[in-house]
Structure 1
Amino acid sequence: MFIHKIDDELSLKLIEINDRDNIFELTERSREHLRQWLPWLDTTTKVEDTESYINMSLQGFIEGKSLQTVILFHGQAVGVAGFNQINRANQTAYIGYWLAKDYQGNGIMTRVAKALTDYAFTELKLNKVEIRAAVENTKSRAVPERLGFVQEGTIRQAEWLYDHYVDTVVYGMLATEWKKS
């Protein structure tokens, strides 16, 4: 099992089938909050939907195409983060994340994104890490900005959120830049 300890409070654990009830419950408790920025909430309505997501994530991990983890804060699941896609041909990983509403404001996601970025460069030996967030999602955008990612541009109408398109800001970090910071 993959477990990556970040610090005394935080660790990342490979998402597994036995996480399905906890992750679904976190989703339920934060549904309205998360729905503002994540397009999958309306199609995740029962625990079996979360199980399907976990199975897909595990298949991606086996194939080396992704790595989805459960964020553990003091041993308790509080969200999900990982590499939504690992592109070996281009040596790039794309970080995605969400955190239950009750745990925001504790610096959790910045520490998680920092650990994932470091893992991408030191363990996976990748060249670039990207984080994308909706233009108006200031909390999510603050994570790569705090870590010194470069704002590379905006993709217009990049994502459909239920009844409207949102523009997405792309942030990037190169391995050479990460080593310098």
Structure 2
Amino acid sequence: MFVHQIDEELSLRLIELRDADRVFELINHSREYLREWLNFVDGTVKVEDTKAFIDSCIRGYADNKSLNTVVLYKGAIVGVAGFNSIDWTNKIAYIGYWLGEDYQGNGVMARVAKALTDYALKELQLNKVEIRAAVGNQKSRNIPERLGFVEEGHIRSAEYIYDHFVDHVVYGVLASEWSE
């Protein structure tokens, strides 16, 4: 099982079915907050929906195509983060993340994204890590910007969120840039 200790209060652990109740509770408690930028929230109405998501994460990990973890802050699950997909041919990992509303402002996700980037570039020997965020989602955009990712471009109408399209900003960092 994948477990990655980031620091004394923060770690990542491969998401498991036993996490379904807590992850659903976290989504449910932060529903309005998360809904602004995440298109899965309205479709997550019962624990079984979360279990189906976790099943897909487990399959993706078993197939070596993704790595999704729960974010443990001071021992409690506070969000989900990981590689939504890993492109082994082109040596690119695509990071995705979300954090419960009550856990914002502690630098949790910046530390998580840094640890995932380190893992992808140093342990997995990938060449690039990419993070995409909606143009208007400044909190999410601050993370790659703070970590020194390069803004590589915009994708128009990249994602449909309930009743409208949002553009994405694409950020990337190469292994050669990260190690400098």
Interval containing the TM-score (normalised by the shorter chain)? over 0.9
Q: What is the CA–CA distance in structure 2 between the aligned matches of 1:150 and 1:74, rounded to whole Å?
A: 31
Return structure 1 stretches of 4+ with deviation > 3 angstroms: none
Counterpart residue number, 1:122? 122
Counterpart residue number, 2:68? 68
Q: Deviations over 1:31-71 (max 9, x none)?
A: 10000000111111100000000000000000110000000
Q: TM-score, normalised by structure 1?
A: 0.99
Q: What is the CA–CA distance in structure 2 between the aligned matches of 1:29 and 1:123, rounded to whole Å?
A: 35
1:2 Cα deviation from its structure 2 partner: 1.2
1:160 Cα deviation from its structure 2 partner: 0.3
Give the % identical residues: 64
- Tell me the amino acid that sits aligned with residue 29 of structure 1: H
Q: What is the CA–CA distance in structure 1 between the aligned matches of 2:12 and 2:52, rounded to whole Å?
A: 20
- Tell me the amino acid that sits aligned with residue 166 of structure 1: V
The aligned runs of 1:87-98 (5 Å cut-off) are 87-98=87-98
Counterpart residue number, 1:18? 18
Q: Does 1:82 align with 2:82?
A: yes
Q: What is the CA–CA distance in structure 2 between the aligned matches of 1:149 and 1:17, rounded to whole Å?
A: 33
1:122 Cα deviation from its structure 2 partner: 1.1
- Tell me the amino acid that sits aligned with residue 84 of structure 2: N
1:89 Cα deviation from its structure 2 partner: 0.7
Q: What is the CA–CA distance in structure 1 between the aligned matches of 2:41 and 2:75, rounded to whole Å?
A: 25
Counterpart residue number, 2:168? 168
- After superposition, the CA RMSD in angstroms is 0.4
Number of equivalences: 180
Unmatched 5+ residue regions in structure 1? none
Unmatched 5+ residue regions in structure 2? none
Q: Deviations over 1:152-171 (max 9, x none)?
A: 00001110010000000000
